Structure 1
Amino acid sequence: MTTQPRVIPRYAHTAGPTSMTYSPDGKYLITVGNNEVIRKYTVASDDEPATIEQSQDGKTAVVASDDHFVVSAEDGTVSIFSMATNTFIKLLVRTSLPPRDLSISPDGLLVAVASDETVVKVVNLEDNQRVMNLRGQKNSAKHVAFHPSGNYLAVSGVDGTIYIYSLSTEEPELVKKLDGIISALKEDSESSSKVAWHPDGRAFLAQTPTRELVVVDRTNWEKHRVFANGHNGDITDYAWSPNGAFLASAGTDGKLLIWESKTQTIISRWDYKNILSLAWHPTENTISFTTSQGQLYTLPNPVPSDQGWLLNLSVRPAPLINDTGIGSHPSVLPTRSKPPAQLYRERSPSQDSLDELLPDDLDDFIEDDDGAGYVEINQNNKRRASDLPPGGLQIGKRRAYGTEPWAPEVHESFQPGSTPWKGMRRYLCLNLVGFVWTVDQETHHTVTVEFYDREVYRDFHFTDPFLYDKACLNEGGSLFSCKPKDGNGAMIYYRPHESWTTKGDWRTSMPKGEDIVSIALSDSYIVVCTTAGYVRVFTLFGVPFRVWRQKHTPVVTCASWRDYVIVMGNGAVGPDGRTKLVYTIENVKRDETLQSEDIVALPADGSIRSVCFSDNGDPCVYDSDGVLLVCLHWRLQGQAKWVPLLDTRLLDRLATGMKQESYWPVAVAQNKFHCIILKGGEKYPYFPRPLLSEFEFSIPLTSTAPSAAEAPKSDALEETFVRESVLHSLQEDFAAHTTTTTEEKRELVRCENIIDKTLLQLVAMECQDNDRGAKALEICGLFRQKRTLELAVKVAVRYGKLVLAEKIGELMGNMEMDLDV
């Protein structure tokens, strides 16, 4: 045990409660206190701290990511500030009673707020409208703490109960209530009852009523090792070192203690009174703490130099009884190449690093005989294919040596409706039926399927040892696929929502060496596209129905509707060095090719973001420019063309230029574009699940939206005419190739009436202009019904356009002659 001289304090705040935190990258230290200012110190600098003025006094807590820091105050406000500019960004959330503690998720996306309310709020930093409410506790909460994986949140109640929530589902699930570990405390008590998760995630630390710190196993919730006989007063704060090798604790007895985690022995001791908040520097052998006198201390080398080398190792095992290491527990996370506590930061290399001088095989020089973890495992970080943006372009790889041959840019494959990993979670499917998401639990995944109509369908949740990475969902069932694993081939799994047999679900594997690129599910068939270029079609009960190889590979994506499937792949290379995105539409049942290797009309330097069939069965794509297009006349060979239905860049909501948002495509139904609005720089939807929005079709004809206030009335009428004409053509094609119902026939007539009514209004507008009679006559030639010509004659007479009325009469006579013929 060692004792070191005292350090000189810095006076940060007035006397009263204080709180402090480091930024994850270790560059800054932020403190809050009882006055109206926030102090931001630059680490290892003697300069004066940045002072951020805020009108609220009585700050209660502060947490930070590399880009932001979040501060709570007694008036119930929780605010976000920019780390780069030290400026207020926005109010994150407000509580009706004073907040007591904050915790930020390891990925820096979520902030948990404990307050004197009985509800704990978990708020998304990027969109504060997305809030999860934790309601399992009967009394107010004093502390909150995210698990290193971000999948769990521990809540310490003032009633002496610890609540463990799983955040793996859309609705947070209370998985465990623990009594008899922590004391019941008042909300404003200086004593701490917080949960301090060990960096390896297998256990947490908490203060018992006897002023001891006990380690609790996360798998069975049993007490294990105890850090005892250290403090004679209540413990006010405690924290693991970044790799869990040491523990720091401070108490009302005026003691600051450093413990070795493995042996639970005190290795350093200091006398500092009134410590309220302490934290380890993320990468250095340094501890900082604040006191109730408003002072900030930074203590160098709290771990003696003869043991400081342990801080440079990866995450140490939690001190559990009869435990030999992180990998020994059957249900815990295996050791990662990057420790869980450092998922978002890396230790910077020293300037005199010997890595470049030592031979590559030196890692074998030391053998880890006793499993104590002296040897670090060096693994190459591999990027997941699912982390690439859907529909993005991948530049061809170059050789490492010799000449550098040219390679084209190809369209990267993607699964419609899925998102990349973010914070150990991702959506596998998002549509109007429901949504499917998965959570990475390291050894396995957990998959949740939820429906919008819960009166018809029942949500379900299951453990996924196969690590499904793609999914489809419709009214009949759900389809999943996974990559090859442990020598087994890629696999698909279908689960119907209802079945009259005992077992309706089934699995089947692809041939070895054949990975799954994209899957699709319709009311009749299951479609699987693979890396071998094959399109494999199964019935809903698993019978192989058809298989063929695409002419253009690699395959990009696919979608299906009833008996039809559209498959997209990379075609010939264009003059810009990019492959053309081509598509094929097949009728699987009749084994008929409707469109073969036709080109998808994408913008220059653009890519595809999603492909789907509308509820009427028309293929639609959404491109990187934010334009929704439909394939017109796709049932007629050689006649297909891509027609824009909506350009989201021309929406009224963006006209002022004040909003920065994009749109995640979900579905095309009821003649509307259904999507998720992504605020700011977001690229993908995240949790909690955002609400769906819908936009009416609006074909881009001018630079402004037809509904804009400054747009002429004629613009809106012309857009309506073109849009309804497109919809009418789609309905005519549908009626010509299927058996139509009475309602569908009425819809065709309704479309014709809207078209003629719109044109008639345009005729009336032209009649008001003395010089536009020719255009009015031209418009009359576009009428779909004879009776509309009769109305046009009356309009011309009303405005005194007698010559126009005569010519419209001649046009009506010609129409009658054509009908007779």
Structure 2
Amino acid sequence: MAALRGRPAHSPGPTYLAYTPNGKKLITVGLNSALRVFQHGSTNEPTIIDVVTDGHTAVVATNDFIVVGAEDGSVTKYSLLTNSMEEILVRSSLPIRDLSLSKDGEWVAVASDELEVKIVNTRDMTRIMHLREQSRPVKHVAFDISGSMIAVSCTDGIVYMYSFSSEQPQLVKRVDGLIKTLETDAEASAKIAWHPDGRAFAAPTSTKDIQCVARSDWQRQKAFTGGHRADISAVAWSPNGALLATAGVDKSLCLWETRSQRLLKTFEDIQNTILAIDWHPTDNLCSYTNSNGELFIREGFVPGEHAKHLEIALQPSPMNSDPLSEVSGNARKPLANGDKHGGSRGGAEENYLDDLLGPDAMSEDEAGFIEDDDGAGYAEEVNNFGKRSANGIPGRPAKRFEPYSAWQPQVHEAFQPGSTPWRGDRRYLCLNLTGFVWTVSQDTHHTVTVEFHDRQEYRDFHFTDPYKYDKASLNEKGTLFSCRPSIQSQHRAVLYYRPHETWTTRTEWKTQLPAGEEVISMSLSESCIVAMTSKGYVRIYSLFGLPLKVYRQKSMPAVACASFRDYVMTIGNGAVGGDGTTQMRYTINNIRRDEICQNEDAVALPGGTQLRNVFFSDKGDPCIYDTDGVLLILLHWRTPGQAKWVPLLDTKTLDRLASGRKDETYWPVAVANNKFHCIILKGGDAHPHFPRPLLVDFDFKIPVSSMPAGAAEGDEGELAQVKALEESYVRASLQHSLVQDLVENTNATNAQKAEVPMLEREVDKALLQLLAAECREGEERGMKALEIAALMRDRSGKMLEAAGKIAARFQHDILGEKITQLAERRLVGLVDDEDM
């Protein structure tokens, strides 16, 4: 139970507070004419700064001074070094409602009952800028983390976003329908709370929830719902963005986890409406003031079982489809310029800034929140405030922090196929047609459970995991695990393989990787184990732990890998394209024959699309699934230089989505039995969660064409039938090519050899149906019908004979003669494949 310390700080009425950035002092203001300065960790009475004003409505603080707003319209600067007033920065004719201080303390934004917002320089009060686009008084203002943007919450229910990186602030966006219309003196809040990573902000909504909005496109992201029964009165992110504290007019106080938007705790001992919340910068402590003049310093604010959230590094904003959500344990990600952090990670060290902020995560303006804390040169501080031009005119305000380089390439993040990020205290390590591997965090250790779909063939098992395995791969032979190196546990990265069956006493094995090396992605096949590491190595082991090969891949940083029997497919980042993103490259090796099937070929992804999964089909063909919802398979990949990516299914064109009523995406699992097996994700989810989801399958449907615009209503049925037959022909041809490649390049079984003529008949069958459809349209389609007949693959002449009968049935005599001539020429060998 947290220790609650309530102090009567001011006269009964609205009271506000602010911590200094170093956390050493806490300042409160209220209705009376005194400012109180509390020393952190001290039981002594606070220092009192007597002032001439009362009715204070806002306070912001730096380590050296504070700025206080009052109902008389004054905005006053006070020194924390001398505990005395320095100067009045600005005056308003109406009460001050809110203040916001830029991170460097150079500028303070002032909201009042006037229509305009004033932005005043704290060192030179003659330097003032004005925001005048809003038509009603402003209730709140909020600088973003970098100081390059300011959010203005107006009483008309609109959030006005101003760019603060030019000589005069420019309105860049009106965000409507987000906040509630409020009076300036209402207890309810509409203040924007910028997430510490700078990519999004949280806003109280009229539905009593907290809605996150992305800065890049102003689209709504994840929301914190169900915690309050009345309007929100205060919102505050923890310093690392991992937690969120919210208070409501219904005298409620809630603690949320950012990653899962899960309500961790509701405090029941709140007696009055909380008006201001502020986290201590370093300690597990949160303070708040209420509408009765009281200050509460709540020590141990985050319960012990969740206190680890305060120990980790900066966490990402809760975005709907963040490509970086996969990083929470799957892999160590490279920085945007391709560099990596060295050293080991474990426990609270699991999440790093480069893990959480990918190359797409920040615009140039947003990059300002990165500070060069360790002097490594990640960023340099550039402060243009206060500079004057040659003629003495004050220079325009600029971004306080800039990246050290104007341009950096964007790399694709590494991931472990089939795994999901943490949600709460659990996550899936592997998800495929064999079964599920999932883990639960118990703080000091994990518990791992392996469940199979076929429980008659395999037995489920679980075990206590002191290594905290973060990756797994599962197939019919066994289960493979890997963990990161850990300083606390003093172990290196470990590979652990556990077979399902054995006829010897030794049933499992472990091996450690060299110091400073960890697994980025790994895969398990029927004959080998593949591990891609942070050093750029591809390490291949037998199923019994014997090292077979070690080589360094050509394309780095590594992205993912997959394997099937003796074939190993590795993917990495290649050269940088014209759009600034790296082109992913893949290589396919046959490790038993030591042959390269495809060498550094391109992974076919359009711009802005990310790779979601990579795996082999049940017949051994490489497949990928991207964030656009397209499933592709690699054709002719056993012949060097001939491989091409062919779409098998575009999930956005599924019939179930045609009505527009379903809002769902799909998590790829496998390609087997000529179907796409996946998990349906609803409600904007990007990954499957618990309880264990159900697998569904969809037939392949190659995106050949769609219904032409302006088709007559009576023709829609016939056109749809023709389009379906065309797709059937293309799909049958693809399947025939895949199986034919398999038979020609491997030691195929009799069943596989028998499948080739069967699929050939399927191709000709689809062509016959297309021929009949063309004949049905009239003799003017005769040339296309003859072209279709020429595509038939049957060399015995039976299919062309059937085509001639179809032409005769529709009384297309000329077409029938042409088909007969074609059959005769083919029988005597006068027509080869190139002529057709």
Per-residue CA deviation, residues 380-430 of structure 1 (Å, 9 max, x unaligned), is 9954777679x9899999941385243211111111111122222221111
Match of 1:83 among 209, 212, 226: 209
Provide the alpha-carbon RMSD of the alignment: 4.6
Say yes or no: does 1:426 pair with 2:427.
yes
Aligned counterpart for 2:587 among listed residues 571, 584, 595: 584
CA change 1:517–1:684 in 2 (3 A) is: same
Give the aligned partner of residue 126 of structure 2.
Answer: none
**Is 678-687 or 778-787 further displaced after alignment?**
678-687
> What secondary structure does 2:779 align onto?
coil
- Give the one of 511, 515, 521 matched to 2:514: 511
In structure 2, C-alpha distance between the alignment counterparts of 1:762 and 1:564, rounded to whole Å: 38
Aligned to 1:685, the other structure's residue is in SS state coil
Q: Which amino acid aligns with 2:497?
A: Y
Residues in 2 aligned to 1:773 and 1:450: alpha-carbon distance in whole angstroms: 58
Structure 2 CA distance for partners of 1:770 and 1:811, relative to 1, 3 Å: same
Deviation readout 1:350-385 (Å, 9 max, x if unpaired): xxxxxxxxxxxxxxxxxxxxxxxxxxxxx9995477
Mark the runs of 5 or more structure 2 residues left unpaired by the alignment.
14-152, 154-179, 191-201, 212-221, 228-253, 272-284, 319-347, 368-376, 381-402, 710-715
AA aligned to 2:781 is R
Structure 1 residues 554 and 109: alpha-carbon distance in aligned structure 2, compared to 1, 3 A threshold: farther
Aligned 8 A contact 2:557 2:573 in 1: yes
Output the CA distance in 1 between the equivalents of 2:670 and 2:526. Answer: 16
- Whole-Å Cα distance in 2 between the matches of residues 534 and 423 of structure 1? 33
Aligned to 1:733: 741
Aligned partner letter, 1:457: Y
Q: What CA distance in whole angstroms lies between the structure 1 residues aligned with 2:747 and 2:766?
A: 29
- Aligned residue in 1 for 2:76: none
Quick one: distance in 2 between partners of 1:610 and 1:687?
A: 20
- Select 1:772's aligned residue among 772, 781, 789: 781
**TM-fit CA distance, 1:738:** 2.6
Q: 1:752 to 1:680 in 2, by over 3 A?
A: same
Which residue, out of 792, 795, 799, partners 2:803?
Answer: 792
CA contact (8 A) 1:429 1:473 kept: yes
Deviation at 1:462, TM superposition (A): 1.6
Contact 2:189–2:204 (Cα < 8 Å) also in 1: no
Q: CA deviation at 1:607?
A: 2.0
Distance 1:48 1:457, change over 3 A: closer
Name the CA shift for 1:403/1:807 in 2 (closer, same or farther; >3 Å): same
Q: Shift in Å at residue 441 of structure 1?
A: 2.1
Work out the CA distance in 1 between the residues paired with 2:579 and 2:783. Answer: 44
Contact in 1 for aligned 2:590/2:596 (Cα 8 Å) = yes
The answer on whether the counterparts of 2:316 and 2:356 sit within 8 Å (CA) in structure 1 is: no
Cα deviation for residue 630 of structure 1 reads: 0.6
* TM-score w.r.t. length of structure 2: 0.56
Q: For each residue in 1:466-510, what CA deviation from the matched residue of structure 2 results, as whole angstroms up to 9, or x when unmatched?
A: 111111011111111111112432111111112222231111111
Aligned to 1:644: 647
Matches within 5 A, 1:333-732: 337=310, 382-383=351-352, 399-401=378-380, 404-486=405-487, 487-703=490-706, 711-732=719-740
Aligned counterpart in structure 1 of residue 760 of structure 2, from 737, 748, 752: 752
Distance verdict in 2 for CA 1:757–1:489, change over 3 Å: same
| 1:288-320 deviation digits (Å, cap 9, x = unpaired) | xxxxxxxxxx9774xxx7xx44x2x33488xxx
Q: What is the identity, as a one-letter code, of the residue corresponding to 2:431?
A: L
d(CA) in 1 for partners of 2:511, 2:362: 30
What does the per-residue CA deviation read over 1:437-464, in whole Å, with 9 as the maximum and x for residues that have no partner?
2222222222221111111111122221
Quote the offset at 1:546 in angstroms: 0.7
Provide closer, same or farther for how the CA distance between residues 746 and 484 of structure 1 changes in structure 2, counting only shifts above 3 A. Answer: same
CA distance in 1, matches of 2:603, 2:424: 34
Distance 1:47 1:566, change over 3 A: closer
Code of the aligned partner of 2:726 = E
| SS of the residue 1:760 aligns to | helix
Q: SS of the counterpart of 1:772?
A: helix
Q: 816, 824, 832: which one pairs with 1:805?
A: 816
Native 8 Å contact 1:650 1:704 kept in 2: no
CA distance in 1, matches of 2:634, 2:361: 23
2:729 maps to a residue whose letter is F
Structure 1 residue runs without a partner (length 5+): 9-26, 28-39, 51-65, 70-79, 86-105, 112-145, 152-166, 168-195, 200-238, 242-246, 250-280, 287-297, 318-325, 327-331, 346-378
Give the conservation status (yes or no) of the 8 Å contact 2:209–2:224: no
User: Within 1, Cα distance between the matches of 2:378 and 2:355?
Assistant: 24
Distance 1:649 1:691 in 2: 20
- Rounded to whole Å, the distance in 1 between the matches of 2:718 and 2:363 is 43
Preserved CA contact (<8 Å) 2:624 2:632? yes
In the TM superposition, what whole-angstrom CA distance separates every residue of 1:700-744 from its partner, at most 9, and x where no partner exists?
Answer: 1113599x9685211110100000100000000111123333432
Contact 1:450 1:460 in 2 (8 A): yes
Q: Give the SS at the match of 2:427.
A: strand
In the alignment, the residues of structure 1 paired with residue 674 and residue 204 of structure 2 have an alpha-carbon distance, to the nearest angstrom, of: 41
Question: One-letter code of the match for 1:735?
Answer: V
TM-score computed with the length of structure 1 as normaliser: 0.57
User: How far apart are the structure 1 equivalents of 2:482 and 2:624?
Assistant: 23
Distance 1:344 1:747, change over 3 A: closer
Q: Which residue type is aligned with residue 779 of structure 2?
A: N
Q: Secondary structure at the match of 1:818?
A: coil
1:520-566 Cα deviation digits (max 9, x unpaired):
00000000001111100000110001111111211111000000010
Structure 2: distance between partners of 1:784 and 1:44: 78
In 2, the alpha carbon distance for the partners of 1:528 and 1:48 equals 54
1:394–1:469 distance in 2 versus 1, CA, 3 Å: farther
In structure 2, what residue type is equivalent to 1:773? Answer: G
- Do the aligned partners of residues 790 and 395 (structure 1) sit closer, same or farther apart at CA in structure 2, a change above 3 Å counting? farther
Q: Does 1:314 align with 2:300?
A: yes
Please report how far the alpha carbon of residue 518 of structure 1 lies from its aligned counterpart in structure 2 after TM superposition.
0.4
What are the superposed Cα offsets for residues 186-240 of structure 1, whole Å, 9 maximum, x if unpaired?
A: xxxxxxxxxx99x7xxxxxxxxxxxxxxxxxxxxxxxxxxxxxxxxxxxxxxx86
CA–CA distance in 2 between the matches of 1:463 and 1:774? Answer: 70
Structure 2 letter corresponding to 1:779: I
CA deviation map 1:582-637 (0-9, x unaligned):
00000011111111001111112222111100000000011121111111000001
2:804 alignment partner AA: V
Out of 285, 288, 291, the residue aligned to residue 284 of structure 1 is 288
User: 1:388 and 1:471 mapped to 2: Cα distance?
Assistant: 24
Match of 2:828 in 1: 817
427-436 vs 653-662, greater mean Cα deviation: 653-662
Q: Secondary structure at the match of 1:771?
A: helix
Whole-angstrom distance in 2 between the partners of 1:773 and 1:488: 74
CA pair 672-607 structure 1, distance change in 2 beyond 3 A: same
Per the alignment, residue 223 of structure 1 pairs with none
Q: Using a 3 Å threshold, how does the CA distance of structure 1 residues 392 and 649 change in structure 2: closer, same or farther?
A: farther
Q: CA deviation at 1:516?
A: 1.1
Which amino acid in 1 is paired with 2:749? T
Determine the C-alpha separation between the residues in 2 that align with 1:385 and 1:109: 29
